[in-house]
Amino acid sequence: MVTYTPGVVLSMAGYALGALGGVLVFVEFFQLPSYVTYRENLGSYNVTLSPKDAREYTWAGRAGALLIALAFALQFVAAFL
């Protein structure tokens, strides 16, 4: 039977969280901003920028960044165990 040390378990959890966070940040990079619209019939983009309506980041990117930070923290703790 294989036994895992706490350091290995934390390290593996950090890898999993980092991979999930990386996917969420990747999805964030390819989203169209809320202030840009695409017109298919003209084949052009229209930018209507209003400071109140502009939304720069989505929850996917924020959650991904948080998961990546948590993964680094777990890797740091696992290195000392």
Tell which wins on pLDDT, 31 or 17: 17
Tell which wins on pLDDT, 61 or 19: 19
How many Cβ atoms from other residues are within 10 Å of residue 37's Cβ? 12
What is the pLDDT at residue 39? 82
Domain spans in the chain, listed from the N-terminal domain onward: 6-80
- What average pLDDT does the chain have? 87
Q: What is the rounded distance in angstroms from the CA atom of residue 22 to the CA atom of residue 25? A: 5
Q: Pick from 62, 50, 58, 51: which is nearest to 33 by CA?
A: 58
What is the pLDDT at residue 53? 67
pTM: 0.73
Q: What is the mean pLDDT of residues 58-68?
A: 92
What is the pLDDT at residue 12? 94
